[in-house]
């Protein structure tokens, strides 16, 4: 069932239920950049074992979870947020959703407890696609795209149910997919 939605910057890519690639199995990816030269996104529902304080030594009390954003440049740190009013930086993804920003200012806001867990999400690595690759993968039924979602979904920390919620959010035509077992042999 090919996704009728054309992805754009700010879209969610929702993996098909039986995707074998362990980097994207039952994943929801936020596209932060969709360009003719390539695309960038972050897997929203693969929490790592790290907290931000484990990665940034001068943020000892920063207990923000860190997620695996994807298999590219796993030694890089990225963030998506909805606190532009305080950070005053970041590339607009959609509505009240921004990618990156001034990390020095962010550290000050975190140290002063001015950023909440439901306003920011941190990632190590990212997901990247070459020109035309996302469209080809959608044609191959690897992904379903969604442009109509509540940005609250981006900041959900319950990674187990995020994929299911995103699939149900696609509407009744897709909702039954949310109940498929992870292993198609159990179907």
92 vs 106: CA distance, rounded Å? 16
CATH architecture, range 12-18+26-186: 3-Layer(aba) Sandwich (3.40)
* pLDDT tens digit sequence for 89-138: 999 999 899 999 999 999 999 999 999 999 999 999 999 999 999 999 99
Q: Within a 13 Å sphere around the CA of 99, how many CA atoms are in the beta-carbon half? A: 18
In the predicted model, what is the mean pLDDT of residues 132-157?
Answer: 91
Nearest one of 77, 60, 80, 166 to 121, comparing CA atoms: 80
* pLDDT tens digit sequence for 33-50: 998 889 999 999 999 999
104 vs 117: CA distance, rounded Å? 18
Contact 97, 80 (CB under 8 A): yes
């Amino acid at each position: 069932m090919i996704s009728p939605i054309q992805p754009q910057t700010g879209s969610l890519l929702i993996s098909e239920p039986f995707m074998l690639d362990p980097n994207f199995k039952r994943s929801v990816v936020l596209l932060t950049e969709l360009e003719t030269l390539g695309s960038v996104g972050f897997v929203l529902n693969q929490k790592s074992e790290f907290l931000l304080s484990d990665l940034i030594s001068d943020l000892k009390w920063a207990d923000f979870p860190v997620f695996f954003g994807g298999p590219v440049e796993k030694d890089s740190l990225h963030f998506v947020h909805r606190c532009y009013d305080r950070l005053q930086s970041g590339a607009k993804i959609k509505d009240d959703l921004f990618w990156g920003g001034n990390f020095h200012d962010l550290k000050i806001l975190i140290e002063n407890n001015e950023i909440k867990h439901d306003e920011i999400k941190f990632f190590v690595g990212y997901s990247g696609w070459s020109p035309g690759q996302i469209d080809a993968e959608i044609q191959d039924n690897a992904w379903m795209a969604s442009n109509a979602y509540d940005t609250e979904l981006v900041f959900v920390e319950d990674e187990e149910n995020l994929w299911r919620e995103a699939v149900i959010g696609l509407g009744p035509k897709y909702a039954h997919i949310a109940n498929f077992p992870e292993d198609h042999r159990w179907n």
